[in-house]
Structure 1
């Protein structure tokens, strides 16, 4: 006698294509925004040589907006992804599991898509808290897996295009109303998911959109908490710098006409102010008033060509971002400063005392602290 195994039964009518498509629209939009803003962030942090001189320095809040949107859309996708998976998981038990080569490829693409999406959201969330419990470098792996997810998503959408089109235009039996006795209806489910998205967004987005900072409950950073009311990611002690003695400090400007300045000589130069945000890859940001010497003035004194790039070198001896490069747009922008003061006060050591770089529309990790050298690139 041959024993036949019956597949499990899923009674809820909410495991239907229409519900899956409705949530999928939201999830797709969140992933699209997250991917595009992630690309912007990656290329601002690690510009290829051909792009470095074309990175814009305006608007000054550009990176603050795109990176805040990147983190906010990623966090919004966290409740959307399990909701989407809940609507479709009964299909894992469909029989037979593989009906054709095409069906097998579809299942493989879905497996890659789900695994990659979970990986991206989990590692991205942990990055906002600066917790890295893995042996690999976060930035290149996160970037590579993002492309893998997008490729799998495009393939999945191509396979499912006819069904998506049908449900989008409401020509599917899945649009039938759900009887009350069968549990929550589609609108209740979608309202619950929407409320979850709104809740996680409202309680975290204030770290970059400061008008909502009073609603911060789950964001790892408070934009008002830190030395001089501004957060820091890397302290002077962690960088191995400590407090630099005024009489020992020298700024070396290497160019066609090289020169060296003491701290007193820097302070004696014309000082300029700029209201600019610090915006970090973890999603937090805050504007502050900086004052110091224009980088463009130092480059002119050094005889730098108009389109020259500039390497900014920190006094810290090691670290992935101890050296950053300014393309000519940023180097010649009048708002790009070697800052000596923050909100009218001398810089705290954790904010880069005695001198730090501050430039418009630039990731926080590239706003080099404890600057000791400017090098005009050939």
Structure 2
């Protein structure tokens, strides 16, 4: 029988973080990428706050939201989504540059170091959360149990606070490496210059690629390059995309039987579709811009909302509550302030691009107003109430 031999156990298994062999995991590279990332996050934050307060204005602001410029929300929301998407490759590059420093030991060496580690932990977590959930929102996919809008808004402020703390703690190092000729900058091997330039050029190319292939959903001259965005401005009924279909809203032919528009005010009245179409019609060209980032201008024809309110005896500048035939949905009831109701461009539209509204676009009537999110351009309108 073959002899059985007992082998001696090897050294104990230890877990070590992976080590990169590259030479560019240094403060100069991290600062260079950080400048771009900081600018993208700042632009995304500012435009996101604007978007939030336009969608959900507090009472003191609801009546003061401006209708001009008519393309205002289209631009700010397009920038919000574009800057958020551009920040994704920048964040990945930034994490690559600083990765080895995330595992320094001992973990906490001083109060300043503890603040730095806390700011980095919150900053990374909040950035990944915001950019990840924001990207999924553009595709209208919500695989989480919480309400997206309030949580996204709250974490945005958390991200801003962590970013300010991080900049304050790291300011001496950022200042030292901000420019090539900054005083106090350590001289690095000359051969690292071309490598860093190549890395930054690659990051810039990645940002340009994801921007070019998605921004066409709102910047329509670039729509031919719109390969990765979930919406294309030319794809949809009557030349306009559709976010929420009639089937999803529970609006079918039976809901339209005997449809009448009811306008409630000092002199309430109701109109059939034929009577509504017999009133003076106006045509305006306005963009419809959705929070997911896509937008497109179209020609809308219908009755001015201020004419309908005047007929109901409403005073100038009266606010309005609009009710949809939708059976469910957070935007079934919409309110608009006097700045919109008095605007001659605000219509109860009956036609889109010269054709009667399709059911998915809100037949028999929908609201269209300038400088306003698409979610508040209520479709399948059944009632209007002076408030």
Q: TM-score by structure 2 length?
A: 0.92
For structure 1, the 5+ residue unaligned runs are: none
Give the equivalent residue in structure 1 for 2:56.
46
- What residue number does 1:311 align with? 321
Farther-moved stretch of structure 1 (98-107 vs 15-24): 98-107
Indicate the residue corresponding to 2:122 in structure 1: 112
Alignment correspondent of 1:263? 273
What CA distance in whole angstroms lies between the structure 1 residues aligned with 2:351 and 2:150?
A: 34
The 2-side partners of 1:172 and 1:96 are apart by 26
Secondary structure of the residue that 2:326 maps to in structure 1?
A: coil
Structure 1 vs Structure 2 CA RMSD = 2.0
1:86 to 96, 100, 120: 96
1:361 equivalenced with 2:371 (yes/no): yes
Which of the pair has more CA radius of gyration? 2
In 1, distance between residues paired with 2:356 and 2:184?
66
1:374 paired residue among 360, 371, 384: 384
Show the counterpart of 1:234.
Answer: 244
1:225 to 235, 238, 248: 235
Q: After superposition, what is the alpha-carbon deviation per residue over 1:191-222, rounded to whole angstroms, capped at 9, x for unaligned?
A: 00000000000000000101001011111111
Aligned residues: 373
Query: What stretches of structure 1 move > 3 A for 4+ residues in a row?
Result: 3-11, 172-178, 243-247
Q: Judging changes above 3 Å, is the alpha-carbon distance between structure 1 residues 7 and 46 closer, same or farther for their aligned structure 2 residues?
A: closer
Matches within 5 A, 1:1-378: 10-169=20-179, 170-174=182-186, 176=188, 178-179=190-191, 185-243=195-253, 248-377=258-387
Q: 1:298 to 1:101 in 2, by over 3 A?
A: same
CA pair 266-78 structure 1, distance change in 2 beyond 3 A: same
Question: Are 2:176 and 2:185, in contact at CA under 8 Å, matched by a contact in 1?
Answer: no
Unaligned runs of 5+ in 2: 1-11
C-alpha contact (below 8 Å) 1:236/1:243 kept by paired residues: no
Deviation, structure 1 residue 142: 0.7
| 8 Å Cα contact 2:320-2:337 kept in structure 1 | yes
Helix, strand or coil: the match of 1:116?
helix
Structure-2 change in CA distance of 1:298 and 1:18 (3 Å): same
